[in-house]
Structure formats: structure tokens, C-alpha cells
Amino acid sequence: MASKFEKTQGSQIFVSDGPATEANPTTVKWFPTSCSIKEISYTSGQKTDIETTTLCSEEQEMEDGLPAAAELSLTRNFSAYDDGQKSLSQAYEDGTLRAVKVVFPSGAGFAFLASVRQDNWSAATNSLVTGTYSLRVKGKPVKIMPGAK
């Protein structure tokens, strides 16, 4: 049996050109930003614990509660000419949501609404200007299936 995996080379990330109200809208212009993004890191929201321990329990008992919002980090090479970065920076400034779409080489991926919580960058001697956008995902991500548009 062979291992199952998805290579990252060829992955694409898109950001809506302006404010969005749905995760995978068909009426927005998408800005590709794959050529400046170095790493995408998604962390789903941790569920709260609901304690259900009673007097007859033999150990502490818990049930899952509601999940917190998911977080997404986009590590990037800073580019003043990347329209996706411009859109994310504008979203940070005005507090509006952006639609973000990540598509892996197989065509599978995820789309979601996000607010930009932090926009940082750094520059060092003999290096590149790099940075990270920290996004809070709003609602559940929409799965993109291979072959879907």
C-alpha cells in the first residue's frame, strides 16, 4: 500500500478584491497571491469543555462544547505589487472581511471568510522583507472538491 499525500508545490491562494459576505463567492474578482506566500498555516478552533461529572463519576467527565474561531497565518515575502497583499492590508485597515481560497495541486482545497487580525513585516540586513498576516476565520470553511469551480 502506498502512502497518501498532497504536495505543496503548485498550491494556489486567492484573496477577494474587496469585502465579501460569503466564503466562496462567484461574483468577486480573485487576486492570486501564491507567488508571494511562503507558508499557509491553518488551526481549527479548540472546542470548549462542558463538565458532566456527577457524584457517581469515577473520573472527571467532559463533553465537547462549541468550537472557537479558526485561525490562519499567511507567511509572505512582502511585495508592494501583490494585489492579494494589498487587499488583505486594506481589510486590516477598514475591518472588512475577505474571502480566501486555497487550492492544492489536486484541485481540492478550502474557501472561507476571514478578518485580518494582524499585519506584520520585518526587514533585516542581507535578507528579504518578510511578514505574516494573521486571519480569523468566520464560520465553517467550505471544502473545494477536485474538478469543482
**What is the secondary structure of 16-78 as a DSSP string?**
ESS--SSSS-SSSPEEE-TTTEEEEEEEPPPEEEEE---TT-SS--EEEEEEPPPEEEEEEE-
Q: How far apart are CA 13 and CA 77, in angstroms?
A: 14
Residue 148 has pLDDT above 80, yes or no: no
The answer to whether 67 and 46 are in contact (CB under 8 A) is yes
- The domain ranges of the chain are 25-45+68-144
Residue 149 has pLDDT above 70, yes or no: no
Q: How far apart are CA 144 and CA 111, in angstroms?
A: 7
Residue 54 has pLDDT above 80, yes or no: yes
pLDDT in tens, 8-45: 999 999 999 999 999 988 889 999 999 999 999 999 98
pLDDT in tens, 63-106: 999 989 999 999 999 999 999 999 999 999 999 999 999 999 99
The whole-model pTM stands at 0.86
